[in-house]
Amino acid sequence: MKPVPINYIEFKAANLEQVKSFYSRLFGWKFTDYGPEYTAFTDSGLEGGFSKSDEAVTNGALVVLYHPDLGALESKIRKAGGKITRGIFSFPGGRRFHFLDPAGNELAVWSDQGIENGD
């Protein structure tokens, strides 16, 4: 199996406007809103985004990996002892799922493959 690269990172934030202002002024990051609950950033070295959350943020970063075959990787993760916390779902631009590793870290895997035919 080829390496599965870290492709994206997500953070949580209660106030998206505040966090956008903070990072754009400090580091020059550019933002694209995807509705009132999500904003993506670029020009940071690694692309990512902020998801609106009213929960207290504890270890708020979500590392997002990329793999073209979500079903196959989801199966491998289960067999290796990982726990799927959110099954495959669609979002603008692709599909993804979330899982816990044996230490309890949550990660996600996304793909832009198979979205044309609704797989």
pLDDT for the residue 92 = 87
* Mean pLDDT on 46-61: 86
Q: Cβ-count burial of 99 within 10 angstroms (0-12 exposed, 13-18 middle, 19+ buried)?
A: buried
Fold of the 1-66 domain: 2,3-Dihydroxybiphenyl 1,2-Dioxygenase; domain 1 (3.10.180)
Give CA–CA dist 103/74, Å, rounded: 17
Q: Which two tokens stand for residue 31?
A: 């933002």
Which CATH architecture describes the domain 69-119? Roll (3.10)
Dihedral pair phi/psi, residue 23, rounded to 5°: -75, -30
Residue 1's pLDDT band (cuts 50, 70, 90): low
Query: Does 117 have pLDDT greater than 50?
Result: no
Domain boundaries defined on the chain: 1-66, 69-119
pLDDT in tens, 80-114: 999 999 999 999 889 999 999 877 888 999 999 87
Query: Same CATH fold, 69-119 and 1-66?
Result: yes
Flag the least confident range among 22-31, 32-41, 53-62, 70-79. 53-62
Query: Does 116 have pLDDT greater than 70?
Result: no
DSSP state of 47: -
User: Cα 26–50–5 angle (5° rounding)?
Assistant: 95
Mean pLDDT of the chain: 89
